[in-house]
A and B are shown apart, each in its own frame.
Chain A
Amino acid sequence: MPHPLLAVEDVSKSYDGFKAISNLNFYLFDGELRTVIGPNGAGKSTFFDLITGRAQPDKGRIEFGSSPTDSHDLTTLNEYEINRLGIGRKFQTPSVYVEHTVWDNLVLSLKGPRGVFASLFKRLSSTERDRLDELLKLIRLDAKRHWKAGLLAHGEKQWLEIGMLLAQEPKVLLVDEPAAGMTDEETRRTGELLISLAGRHSLVVVEHDMTFVRQIARDSQVTVLHQGTVLCEGKFDEVQSNPKVREVYLGRGKHGTR
């Protein structure tokens, strides 16, 4: 069995007695695209909070690293330290700097030293400019590079935030409901983008929209969360036909499989 890039083992977290996550086990391998689904309150956001250092687990282990010798205990690190290791997070509501231009949003996200004094004397190299141009084309905001991010449409903000994540050149991307509020066409293109990133990056995508999940999951693994723990894991079709899953989630009709 290969070494997992991200290993979450036997993790629990409760808030005021409510068990948001209980005895969760989750392994992500290098280059994988993993989709996580689950009804509201299944603990998806808390799951991301625990990995990114926003919350600390009550018990359990969260390890990150490409080999047993290069392994980091994420439960002892804070948000920016975890990000610097190569874990980027996209929030559910687009979180961009609204008063900055699209270009500046990406400049701030570009991989590089993050210290106060480094930022005082930072100059962009031509390689970095080329990289930014390339990213702007990828997220289709090339023509709007001088726009204030606050003026972008909702879908464009989502794309900008994905671009900001990519500018950090992370090993793992945690993506929370990227298709929320997008048109069908935008959703489809977002799916294509995420699929194209797998391999070079490892991705965990939390999503509600079943059409979208079917599109990006293809034959990769889907994890179903329920009441803070993994209900089942497998290919999309296996998961879909699993009676337990149908009962707690898919069978409710609200997010029907069509």
Chain B
Amino acid sequence: MTMTPSSFRPAARVAGSELAVTAMIALLLIGLLPLLHATGQISTFTLSLWGKYLCYALLAISVNLLWGYTGLLSLGQALFFALGGYMHGMYLMRMIGDLGQYHKPIPDFLVFLGWTKLPAFWEPFASFPFAFAMVFLVPGLIAYVFGYLAFRSRIRGVYFSILTQALTYAASILFFRNNLLLGGNNGFTDFKFILGHSLVDRGAGPATMRGLYLVTAVTLLLVYVLCRWLNGTKFGLVQQAIRDGENRVLFSGYATTHYKLFVFVLAACIAALGGALFVPQAGIINPEEMKAQNSLEAVVWVAVGGRGTLVGPILGALCINLLKSWASRAYPDLWLIILGGLFILVVLFLPGGLVSLPARLAPLWRKRAADPAAVTKS
């Protein structure tokens, strides 16, 4: 695996400045924030908040992989995020043991529903490796089956978007039902342990949260590196060619269905990984996470950050969620209006997103730098 774009793309060398900026951001997120937390400068709440933002960045990368690079606008990526969260949540629920409100060896909501022993499908989730595998297998398999049917039937464009939105909507209705035995509308919460480490907000809890944050930040970096590599391969070329002219690709001997399916499953796995890391840091997972609005918001992050760029979605997810945290405290009623307004502004005036801002501003700077010289000359 090499980070320089592959040898057949001499035109696309990695810009040194871009690497420097990325390295700086990575250092800040992986080094500085945990350090500030360890020395008591920032609270565990703040650190976990950033941890959640980084999980959202993974969701944004997943949307961008589909929409930005392959031209498939999925309006249902939050489903895979939530499914990853549920799979990890099942493990965390098993780790509560008999420390729940009812002091029974099964999760509280099952006791509440009248169960006395664990349903069979809950059994293996006491194993972390099993749950970890399910985080990828369940969303991956659903993406595979849905993608296979949709792409084979040549469902494209807005029809694909509507179908993905319908899929996540249907899933949220399903997950609201108590008899699915996944916690109904309350979902899973009150987690106590992960891999033997306390998640409670005292004692060793903050150290565990710091560990979770670090794992999230490093995971984000690795996924970024993976995307960067993918972008430089011939696969990356095919992917973007499908976005710009699928017929030409098809009539050049490529089975575009296979390529789209691969990307769809990969994107689902990345979103699921984000969801799995999100759950212990948020302390809760419920069907709210897969409602239609969340998938739409993720699309806005990507558009604002910069669609079809590597850093754009990460930047967009972080900026918008920081803004959201501030706005929902300062102007709780106005948040959706602010978000919608921002989306319209970006689409109209900054179609390249935030990442295109430096290039947009550069001529203005040069002008300003040139002006005084012109004045002194005359």
Write the residues of chain A forming the contact surface with B, with a CB cutoff of 8 angstroms.
Answer: 52, 79-80, 83-84, 88-89, 91, 95-101, 103-104, 107-109, 114-116, 119-124, 146, 164, 168
Contacts and interface: CB of A to CB of B under 8 A. Distances in A.
Contacts of B252: 80, 83, 88, 108-109, 164, 168
B251 interface: yes
Most interface-central of B6, B244, B245, B251 (chain A CB within 10 A): B251
A79 B251 contact: yes
Interface stretch (B113-121, B124-132, B233-241): B233-241
B11 A101 contact: yes
Interface in B252-282: 252-256, 258-259, 262
B180 to A, nearest CB: 34
A258 to B, nearest CB: 34
Given A89-B251, A95-B245, A98-B244, A104 B238 contact: no
Contact of B241 (A91, A100, A124): A100
State the 3 A-B residue pairs at the shortest beta-carbon distance, nearest first.
Answer: A122-B234, A83-B253, A119-B235
B9 interface: yes
Contacts of A108: 234, 237-238, 241, 249, 252
Contacts, number: 95
A124 B253 contact: no
Contacts of A89: 251
B237 A107 contact: yes
Interface in B45-77: none
Contacts of B233: 119-122
Given A97-B248, A116-B259, A123 B240 contact: no
A100 B244 contact: yes
17 contacts: A79-B251, A84-B253, A96-B245, A99-B243, A100-B237, A100-B240, A104-B9, A107-B8, A107-B237, A108-B252, A114-B254, A114-B255, A116-B258, A123-B8, A124-B8, A164-B248, A168-B252
B245 A52 contact: no
Nearest to A120: B235
Nearest to B255: A80
B36 interface: no
Contacts of A84: 253
Contacts of B39: none
Interface of B: 6-11, 230, 233-235, 237-238, 240-241, 243-245, 247-256, 258-259, 262
A120 B251 CA distance: 20
Q: Which residue, of B7, B10, B235, has the highest number of chain A Cβ atoms within 10 A? A: B235
B237 A52 contact: no
Given A88-B251, A103-B8, A123-B8, 7 more contacts: A80-B256, A103-B9, A108-B238, A109-B252, A114-B254, A116-B258, A116-B259
A110 B262 CA distance: 22
A164 B253 CA distance: 12
Contacts of A97: 240-241, 244-245, 248
Contacts of A115: 255, 258
A99 B307 CA distance: 14
A150 to B, nearest CB: 9
Contact of B253 (A100, A107, A168): A168
Residue in A83, A89, A119, A124 whose Cβ sees the most chain B Cβ within 10 Å: A119
B234 A119 contact: yes
Nearest to B262: A116
Contacts of A100: 237, 240-241, 244
A90 to B, nearest CB: 9
Nearest to B11: A146
Contacts of B245: 95-98
Contacts of A99: 240, 243-244
A98 B248 CA distance: 11
Nearest to B308: A99
